């Protein structure tokens, strides 16, 4: 497999790039990483087996612009909709079971990740005669780290890696740290911008870690660039 093919497969494996927090947070998370964390929350519910889980914008026509350049093809900031299929043991009223699944997904989205979720739509696809075997925890797939950054990118990388909760840098969309200039307001000079890809621990909320990385990288570089953070793995 050549490098270009590998890069395309890695990007496709991420799924959509979902906004973390609001338009002022400048952070996104790969859908694959978000799904892993959400499935883990439902895995703890007895008598439930989660099926297909989708995450998308709740209202694509009403999404504000982010304060920093978004990663390529990322969804704009705005509330999200979770859609999930599940099977359950018919040991109680299905609306009660569905409520537990909905609460688990919504709570994990907010407290473990920092996703802004407006809707959780569920569909029961099967009734089970007995409780399913616990779904094994999904392994955290290794994410390519790429080549070591140099110069100012190395400074930014060191600042990001020093933030509690960051477990590594990744390079799914290219370099782990990408420095560039983006257009400024009329009559102003272009401003430096940094995009940083990270993997984070599941012990801290992904949005909080991303905010700290933005602050650390912006402070570490002499021109204090704006910073975009992309979380590609949680665990």
157 assigned to some structural domain: yes
State the residue range of the domain holding 49: 31-61+77-128
> Is 114 found in the same domain as 202?
no
- The band of 199, judged by pLDDT with boundaries at 50, 70 and 90, is very high
Q: Is 181 helix (H, G, I), strand (E, B) or coil?
A: strand
Within this chain, do residues 148 and 95 fall inside the same structural domain, yes or no? no
Examine the fold and report which residue of 108, 128, 148 is the final residue of a domain before the chain moves on.
Answer: 128
Please state which of the ranges 190-194, 218-222, 227-231 shows the lowest mean pLDDT: 190-194
Does residue 13 belong to any structural domain of this protein?
no
Average pLDDT for 191-202: 93
Q: Is residue 190 a part of any domain in this protein?
A: yes
The model's pLDDT over 35-75, given as tens digits with 9 standing for 90+, comes to 999 999 998 888 899 999 999 999 878 778 888 999 998 99
Tell me the two tokens of residue 163. 């933030």
Closest CA to 18 of 191, 234, 186, 214: 234
pLDDT mean over 15-34: 95
**Between the CA of residue 152 and those of 11, 98, 180, what are the distances in Å?**
25, 50, 11
- Say if residue 91's pLDDT is above 90: no
> pLDDT digits over 144-188, tens only?
555 666 788 999 999 999 999 999 999 988 889 999 876 655 544
Task: Compute and round to an integer the Cα radius of gyration of the chain.
Answer: 19
Is residue 139 predicted with pLDDT exceeding 60?
A: no
For 193, the token pair is 């911008």
CATH code at position 88: 3.30.70.1350
Mean pLDDT lowest for which of 133-147, 163-177, 193-207?
A: 133-147
Asked, for residue 214, whether it belongs to a domain, the answer is: yes
Same domain, 204 and 147: yes
The mean pLDDT of 205-233, rounded to a whole number, is: 95
Does 146 share its domain with 209? yes
User: What's the rounded Cα separation, in Å, for the pair 149 and 129?
Assistant: 54
As for how many domains the chain has, the answer is 2
**Separation of alpha carbons 58 and 199, rounded Å:** 26
Mean pLDDT over 101-123 rounds to: 95
User: Considering the domain boundaries, does residue 195 fall inside one?
Assistant: yes
pLDDT band at residue 109 under the 50/70/90 scheme: very high
The structure's pTM equals 0.85
């Amino acid at each position: 497999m050549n490098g270009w093919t590998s890069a395309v497969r890695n990007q496709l494996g991420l799924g959509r790039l979902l906004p973390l927090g609001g338009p002022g947070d400048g952070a996104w998370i790969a859908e694959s990483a978000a799904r892993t964390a959400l499935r883990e929350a439902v895995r703890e519910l007895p008598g439930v087996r989660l099926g297909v889980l989708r995450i998308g914008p709740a209202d694509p026509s009403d999404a504000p612009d982010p304060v920093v350049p978004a990663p390529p093809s990322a969804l704009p900031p705005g509330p999200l909709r979770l859609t999930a299929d599940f099977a359950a043991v018919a040991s109680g009223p299905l609306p009660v079971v569905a409520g537990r699944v909905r609460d688990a997904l919504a709570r994990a989205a907010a407290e473990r990740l920092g996703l802004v979720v407006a809707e959780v739509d569920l569909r029961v696809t099967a009734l089970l005669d007995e409780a399913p075997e616990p779904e094994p925890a999904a392994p955290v797939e290794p994410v390519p780290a790429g080549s070591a950054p140099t110069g100012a990118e190395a400074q930014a990388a060191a600042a990001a890696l020093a933030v509690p909760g960051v477990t590594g840098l990744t390079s799914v969309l290219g370099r782990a740290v990408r420095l560039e200039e983006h257009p400024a307001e009329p009559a102003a000079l272009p401003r430096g911008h940094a995009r940083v890809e990270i993997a984070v621990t599941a012990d801290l909320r992904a949005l909080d870690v991303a905010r700290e990385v933005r602050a650390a990288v912006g402070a570490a570089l002499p021109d204090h660039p704006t910073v975009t953070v992309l979380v590609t793995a949680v665990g």
